[in-house]
Structure formats: C-alpha cells, structure tokens
Amino acid sequence: MLPQNHSGQELLLLIRRSMRMGDVDAVYHTLRRTSLPEAEKICFRYEMEVGRFENGEINSETWCLDQIRSFDEILKWPDFRQNEEPLEGELDKKLLLRLVNSFELDKALQLCESMGDRSILTQAQYKIFEKLFHEGKIELEIWELLRHSTQYQLWELGQSTETTLNFCVKSLITIKKWFQCHFK
C-alpha cells in the first residue's frame, strides 16, 4: 500500500506525468520508489522486456504495445484508482475537432488531459511511438499509421456524446493485428 503522505501522492502524479510524456524509464524508476506490492513484479517484467528488446527478440512495435498494456495495468491498481486524477471540467469538443482537423495532435492530446486518467494511454501510446520513430526504430509507415489512428480516435471523441477514451484499447488491438499481418 502506498504511504498516505504527501510524497506518496507526488509519486503517483509523477508516474502519471511520465506516462503522458511516454517516458517509460521514468515510470518504472519512480514506481520502484513506491512501496506498492505490485511494483516489484511489474518492474521486473519491464527489465525482462528491455532485455528482450535490446537483444532483438521483440520488435519496437511489440515493445511499445507491451508498455501500454503495462501502463493500463498500473492505472488499475487500487492505489491508482483511489488517487485517480480528477476531471478538470468538460472537454471542449469544438476546439478538439479544430486541432484534430489541423493535424495538431500534440495540442489535441494536451487538451484531453482535462479528462484525467482516461486520456493517459492514448497520450502514452502516441509519445512512445513518436520517440521510437525519431530514434529510427520504427518505419515511417508505422508511425503514420499510429498518427492517423490517434487522429481518428481524437476525432471520434470530438464527435461523441460521451467523454471516454476506451477506444484506446480497441485501437491497440487493431494496430497489433495490423502488425501481425504485415510483419510475420
């Protein structure tokens, strides 16, 4: 269980912020500083995945999707649920659609932060893939596929009457299927 002091809350906020930025190393480094019982197990799993990735046993896309699944698992832990980021108000859907239509995905994703924890996975997915692309670890076509997928997810959100980002998980499944078909 997480300590009920101010530093425990700060650690949870730092983990969430690192997830939003796609800073995988910072997420696990900070997670190790918590006293959460689940942290040791998931940090060990992360170290194993890093080893497999560095040894070429898994590709960049699989590694990224594994991290998103781990982030989703972490956000479901009781301590994260009890200390969920509060919603900061209603999402400005008109502004979101304007940003999406002008291909300003970074700004659109920042706008979604007002939705609290529900937007973290979409932001993390985008940022992790963006870093991998800039490091030359994924091809342009994969990066473009993810950008268009994110753009569509955000467009759907702007069109919807409900303000949830559950479509992130569906998108991950679609992307994984695409990878499996094209990279056998």
49-88: buried (b, 16+ CB within 10 Å) or exposed (e) per residue? beeebeeeebebbbbbbbbbebbbebbebebbeebebeee
Encoded amino acid at 171, one letter: S
pLDDT tens digits in sequence order for the chain, 184 residues long: 444 444 778 888 899 999 999 999 999 999 999 888 899 999 999 999 999 999 999 999 899 989 999 999 999 998 887 666 655 567 788 898 999 999 999 999 988 887 767 688 889 999 999 999 999 999 999 999 999 988 988 888 787 754 444 555 566 666 666 666 655 5
The pLDDT of residue 183: 57
**Containing H/E element for 81?**
helix 78-82
List the domain boundaries for the chain. Answer: 6-182
Residue 29's Cβ-side half-sphere holds a number of Cα atoms within 13 Å equal to 7
The pLDDT of residue 115: 73
Distance, CA of 117 to CA of 20 (rounded, Å): 10
Distance, CA of 110 to CA of 65 (rounded, Å): 21
The pLDDT of residue 39: 93
Distance, CA of 164 to CA of 162 (rounded, Å): 6
The SS3 of residue 180 is helix
The pLDDT of residue 42: 94
pTM over 0.85: no
Q: How far is CA 65 from CA 72, 124, 128, 173, 184, in A?
A: 11, 10, 9, 9, 17
**Containing H/E element for 37?**
helix 37-54
The pLDDT of residue 15: 93
